[in-house]
């Protein structure tokens, strides 16, 4: 038996974060140290701390070695197996998508995340591995990361920042061909910053991480990658510079040449600059041409629902990039600042990272259909005079990685009905199969999940109370909270005012009556953090703690502190009903409610984010009227009343209405429909396939076309843009004539194009959407005007389904290879 080889195999397994959603190796880690495994669920920590003699004994054990060998064979077969991408797109030009994100949520063993943004990034990275989509993640390794939450004896939140010891994290240093630790150099004013490079294995997919905690750096720079979303604006700017510029440099040093760069939020927008810089150097072209050539290969996904949420930096902070602009991009700082301003000439306007991302990308998308609409409104200022619906922002609704978030009970049921490979393909048969699930099996899954959650809540609350110095009686009471047979509600998210986490407390007496109904009791689990600077959010946590402690229902309501990934997994696996109460439209997508779907949980949510497109009466319950009401306290009161009423009159009775077999058939029918209709639709599998087919593959093709011959097509588009900019403000309309007939209108208009090439524009006849009529955008046909230089008469015939005065001619830029208005936002209306 080769102990050294087996030891290496064990190391490889521990460093592959596929264990975070595939639990085949769990028994190995538990065998090595059951207590540490239960507390951390981190194989690398177990392996790093196990005694050498115990490890040798385990590896010498025939059963242990056989299990390890079997796992390694399965791993090798999986790494070699063709997956969805290879089978579906065998001749694809896409070889790599670089996915940049400020945070990645893969496991609590790697705490470099805060919440939703990291959740999306981590889940999409995992699904890319499942599907074989060639993606490499790029992020930052934080020495402290996001804060850990402690609730004191008075119910107040305290922020803790434990150190992330790299030796205890499932990561490996990246080394060059000589074995030296790879470092990327970034020039700061008067100092060269050394950025250390790390690698995280996620199946066949990799996540590359950068950090500044290098002993060779000045002390004040070692902490740049200390906290996630902490510190001053200048610190945030430095982090984003390292992510975007340092991240792209790392890819190139490793010989990775992505066709596609996916920016997960604007934090990483500097990557478009560094990508253009590499193109400049390789092809000996100026920055503007390099940006035009590389732009189609960049995709920007925005998650922000309010303008204040975008990172914006004042001139003084941006001045730190002067040397980078002058000596590496060979442009002025003002030229860079113009890329991040709605009004490029306004020197008082802050630099907006989202604006840079838009101006550097070939496509932009929001993270739900509703958020796409909201984003078009937010970015309207970049596309002035264009109708809001024409602002070039699409939508790819988020989804979650189902194997990460399904409970043991749910995994057993789905495997039995749909097979082990259900989330690794196109999901064609999944909906059909889950509809056939027997009611008793569905309900058995829910009962197992709820029972497991109750046990976890008891253990967790017991530890919390003991840590706060509670009395033995209080600790003993915590061991008996909740009932595994009681309807269990869950509410867990960041505590911020727009999420209205205290809407349930609007009428606390009524809430008590709901909780303490003897015939139909309800129990509620809450969790969530408020940002350390958000005092209003912290006050809301304090209000809940006080309500619980002073309530006769204290055994039926619990607030579990330090909301992390493991707590979230237990919650979504066990709750019957997930509550979400944001103010519309400030929840860009929301992923927490998606996680209960695979576990048979139901949603009761505001019609916002993903639920606005997912909701139907057959799958759950909804708050709101689909309109925006701002911060109207009257509307909050009305929605609180509606929340209580639906719980009292529909939700709770349905849960407790059982047949002669003890099964709540109405509730189960809603579960079945939710699982069948929504689980596949809101999975990261669907989201990653959608990104691949709608964005990655077209972006790779467009980039390769623009990049060939040193970016010749990019230069042609740049020349076209310059023509448009030079002549646009001298374009004008002349007389318009309309002939109306019973079934059609003929519209003719004169157009004067100054010295602009007529092929550089398109003249359209436009009519806006009406309640029963679609938008019209019909190209008008032109003929030269006799006796006038570069003037034309354009005409179009349109159906007379609306009055002629609803139609308006307009001139828009046109180029076969360009994206209008994303790359050329001008538009001229007849009126």
Domain co-membership, 699 together with 758: no
Q: Domain for residue 107, yes or no? A: yes
Q: Are residues 735 and 810 in the same domain?
A: yes
| Averaged confidence pLDDT in the chain | 94
Where residue 790 sits, what CATH number does that domain have? Answer: 2.60.40
Task: Tell me the C-alpha distance between 362 and 823, whole Å.
Answer: 8
d(CA 407, CA 258): 36
- 287 and 144 share a domain? yes
**Residues 426 and 711: beta-carbon distance below 8 Å:** no
Per the DSSP assignment, residues forming a β-bridge with 139 are 209
Contact 655, 576 (CB under 8 A): yes
Among candidates 440, 448, 449, 441, which has minimal Cα distance to 416? 441
Q: What does the pLDDT average to over 102-109?
A: 96
Three-state DSSP at 277 gives helix
617 and 699 both lie in a single domain:
no
Domain stops at, among 618, 648, 682: 682
Note the helical H segments in 468-591: 472-478, 508-515, 535-549, 565-574
Nearest to 272 by CA among 98, 75, 503: 98
Number of Cβ within a 10 Å radius of residue 720? 22
Question: What is the token pair recorded at 262?
Answer: 């996916």
Burial of 24 per CB tally in 10 Å (0-12, 13-18, 19+): middle
Domain interval for residue 23: 3-80
* pLDDT over 80 at 389, yes or no: yes
Tokens representing residue 817 in the block? 């290879």
Q: pLDDT tens digits for 749-796?
A: 999 999 999 999 999 999 999 988 999 999 999 999 987 789 999 999
Question: Within a domain: residue 714?
Answer: no
**pLDDT (0 to 100) of residue 153:** 85
Asked if residue 52 belongs to a domain, the reply is yes
Domain boundary among 616, 648, 682: 682
Q: Are 711 and 292 in contact (CB under 8 A)?
A: yes
- DSSP for 281-301 reads HHHT--HHHHHHHHGGGEEEE
Tens digits of residue pLDDT in 630-651: 999 999 999 999 999 999 999 9
> Please, are residues 239 and 256 in contact by the beta-carbon 8 Å criterion?
no
The answer to whether residues 676 and 703 belong to one domain is no
Asked if residue 716 is part of any domain, the answer here is no
Mean pLDDT is lowest, of 46-55, 616-625, 635-644, for 46-55
Residues 157 and 182 occupy one common structural domain: yes
Distance CA 103, CA 268 (A): 11
Interatomic CA distance for residues 404 and 571, integer angstroms: 13
pLDDT at 136: 98
In this model, does residue 79 exceed pLDDT 90?
A: no
Helix H or strand E encompassing 614? helix 611-614
158 and 262, same domain (yes or no):
yes
* Domain annotation covers residue 736: yes
Cα–Cα distance measured from residue 316 to residue 347, given in angstroms and rounded to the nearest whole number: 11
Confidence of residue 1 (pLDDT cuts 50, 70, 90): low
Mean pLDDT, residues 46-65: 90
Angstrom CA distances, 351 to 237, 313, 320, 356, stand at 11, 5, 13, 8
Chain segment 400-453, per-residue pLDDT in tens: 999 999 999 999 999 999 998 899 888 888 999 999 999 999 999 999 999 999
pLDDT tens per residue across span 719-736? 999 999 999 999 999 999
Cis omega before residue 585 (within 30°)? yes
The 10s digit of each residue's pLDDT in 278-311 is: 999 999 999 999 999 999 999 999 999 999 899 9
Q: How many domains does the chain have?
A: 4
**Of 149, 213, 164, 176, the residue nearest 44 (C-alpha):** 164
E strands along 441-594, which residues?
487-492, 522-527, 557-560, 577-580
Distance (Å, whole) CA 615 – CA 779: 38
- pTM for this model (two decimals): 0.96
The SS3 assignment for 813 reads: strand
**What is the 8-class DSSP label of residue 298?**
E
Distance CA 529, CA 544 (A): 12
Domain boundary among 28, 53, 80: 80
Whether residue 470 is predicted with pLDDT greater than 90 in this model: the reply is no
Q: How far apart are CA 143 and CA 231, in angstroms?
A: 14
Given a cut of 80, whether residue 3 has pLDDT beyond it is: no
Q: Decide: 175 and 181 in contact? Cβ < 8 Å.
A: yes
Distance, CA of 491 to CA of 362 (rounded, Å): 38
Quick one: pLDDT at residue 425? Answer: 86
CB 499 within 8 A of CB 534: no
Are residues 248 and 102 located together in one domain of the fold?
yes
Instruction: Quickly count: other Cβ atoms within 10 Å of residue 391's Cβ.
Output: 23
- Residues 197 and 174: beta-carbon distance below 8 Å: yes
What is the full DSSP assignment across 419-444?
Answer: -TTTTSS--TTHHHHHTT--HHHHHH
Q: Are residues 651 and 775 in the same domain?
A: no
Residues 268 and 356 both lie in one domain: yes
CATH of the domain at 665: 3.40.50.2000
Query: How many whole angstroms separate alpha carbon 599 and alpha carbon 594?
Result: 10
**721 falls within a domain:** no
- Give the closest residue to 600 by CA, choosing from 657, 659, 531, 679: 679
- CA dist 458 and 460 (Å) reads 6
Query: Do the Cβ atoms of 791 and 750 come closer than 8 Å?
Result: yes
Domain identity same for 611 and 746: no
Co-location of 651 and 744 in the same domain: no
Average pLDDT for 10-37 = 92
**Assigned domain for 159 exists:** yes
| Torsion on CA atoms 323, 328, 332, 335, rounded to nearest 10 | -120
Helix (H, G, I), strand (E, B) or coil at 46: helix
Closest to 265 in 3D by CA, of 163, 364, 350, 412:
364
Write out 172-188 in H/E/C secondary structure. Answer: EECECCCCCECEEEEEE
Whole-angstrom Cα distance, residue 598 to residue 573? 8
Give a yes or no: residue 426 inside a domain: no
């Amino acid at each position: 038996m080769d102990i050294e080889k087996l030891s290496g195999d064990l190391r490889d397994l521990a460093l592959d974060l596929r264990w975070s959603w595939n639990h085949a190796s769990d028994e190995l880690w538990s065998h090595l140290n059951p207590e540490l495994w239960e507390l951390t669920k981190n194989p690398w920590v177990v392996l790093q701390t196990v005694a050498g003699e115990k490890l040798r004994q385990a590896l010498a054990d025939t059963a242990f070695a056989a299990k390890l060998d079997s796992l390694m064979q399965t791993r090798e077969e999986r790494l070699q197996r063709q997956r969805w991408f290879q089978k579906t797109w065998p001749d694809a030009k896409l070889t790599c998508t670089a996915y940049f994100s400020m945070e990645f949520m893969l496991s609590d063993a790697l705490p470099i995340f805060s919440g939703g943004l990291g959740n999306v990034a981590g889940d999409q990275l995992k699904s890319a591995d499942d599907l074989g989509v060639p993606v490499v993640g790029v992020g930052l390794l934080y020495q402290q990361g996001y804060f850990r939450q402690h609730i004191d004896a008075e119910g107040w939140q305290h922020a803790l920042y434990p150190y992330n010891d790299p030796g205890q994290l499932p990561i490996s240093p990246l080394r060059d061909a000589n074995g030296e630790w790879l470092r990327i150099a970034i020039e700061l004013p008067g100092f060269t910053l050394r950025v250390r490079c790390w690698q995280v294995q996620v199946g066949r997919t990799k996540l590359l991480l950068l950090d500044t905690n290098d002993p060779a750096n000045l002390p004040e720079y070692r902490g740049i990658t200390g906290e996630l979303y902490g510190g001053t604006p200048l610190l945030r700017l430095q982090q984003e510079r390292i992510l975007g510029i340092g991240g792209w440099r790392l890819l190139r040093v490793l010989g990775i040449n992505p066709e596609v760069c996916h920016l997960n939020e604007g934090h990483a927008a500097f990557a478009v600059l560094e990508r253009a810089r590499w193109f400049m150097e390789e092809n000996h072209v100026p920055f503007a041409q390099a940006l035009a050539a590389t732009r189609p290969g960049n995709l920007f996904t925005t998650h922000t629902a309010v303008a204040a949420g975008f990172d914006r930096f004042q001139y003084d902070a941006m001045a730190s990039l002067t040397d980078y602009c002058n000596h590496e991009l060979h442009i002025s700082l003002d030229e860079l600042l113009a890329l991040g301003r709605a009004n490029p000439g306004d020197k008082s306007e802050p630099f907006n990272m989202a604006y840079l991302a838009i101006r550097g990308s070939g496509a932009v998308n929001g993270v739900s259909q509703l958020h796409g609409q909201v984003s078009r409104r937010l970015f309207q200022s970049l596309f002035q005079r264009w109708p809001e619906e024409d602002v070039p922002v699409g939508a790819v609704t988020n989804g979650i990685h189902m194997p990460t978030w399904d409970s043991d009970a749910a995994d057993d049921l789905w495997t039995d009905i749909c097979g082990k490979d259900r989330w690794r393909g196109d999901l064609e048969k999944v909906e059909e199969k889950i509809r056939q699930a027997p009611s008793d099996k569905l309900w058995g899954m829910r009962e197992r999940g709820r029972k497991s959650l109750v046990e976890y809540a008891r253990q967790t609350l017991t530890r919390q109370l003991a840590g706060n110095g509670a009395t033995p009686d209080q600790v003993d009471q915590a061991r008996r909270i909740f009932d595994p047979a009681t309807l269990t509600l869950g509410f867990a998210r960041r505590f911020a005012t727009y999420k209205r986490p205290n809407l349930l407390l609007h009428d606390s007496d009524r809430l008590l009556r709901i909780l303490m109904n003897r015939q139909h009791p309800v129990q509620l689990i809450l969790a969530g953090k408020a940002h350390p600077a958000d005092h209003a959010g912290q006050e809301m946590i304090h209000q809940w703690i006080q309500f619980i402690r002073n309530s006769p229902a204290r055994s039926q309501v619990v607030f579990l502190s330090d909301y992390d990934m493991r707590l979230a997994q237990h919650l979504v696996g066990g709750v019957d009903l997930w509550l979400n109460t944001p103010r519309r439209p400030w929840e860009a997508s929301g992923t927490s409610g998606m996680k209960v779907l695979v576990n048979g949980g139901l949603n009761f949510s505001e019609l916002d984010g993903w639920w606005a497109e997912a909701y139907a009466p057959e799958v759950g319950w909804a708050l709101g009227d689909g309109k925006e009401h701002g911060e109207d306290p009257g509307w909050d009161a009305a929605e609180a009343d509606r929340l209580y009423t639906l719980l009292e009159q529909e939700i709770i009775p349905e849960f407790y209405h059982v047949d002669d077999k003890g099964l709540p058939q109405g509730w189960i029918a809603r579960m079945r429909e939710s699982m069948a209709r929504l689980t596949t639709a809101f999975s990261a599998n669907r989201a990653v396939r959608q990104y691949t087919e709608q964005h990655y593959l077209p972006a790779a093709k467009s980039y390769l076309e623009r990049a060939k011959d040193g970016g010749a097509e990019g230069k042609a588009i740049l020349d076209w843009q310059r023509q448009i900019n030079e002549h646009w403000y001298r374009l004008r309309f002349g007389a318009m004539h309309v002939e109306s007939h019973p079934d059609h209108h003929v519209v003719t208009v004169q157009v004067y194009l100054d010295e602009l090439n007529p092929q550089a524009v398109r003249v359209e006849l436009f009519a806006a959407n009406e309640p029963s009529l679609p938008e019209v955008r019909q190209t008008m046909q032109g003929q030269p005007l006799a006796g006038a230089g570069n003037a034309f008469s354009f005409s179009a015939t349109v159906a007379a389904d609306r009055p002629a005065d609803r139609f308006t001619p307009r001139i828009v830029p046109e180029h076969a290879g360009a994206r209008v208005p994303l790359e050329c936002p001008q538009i001229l209306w007849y009126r």
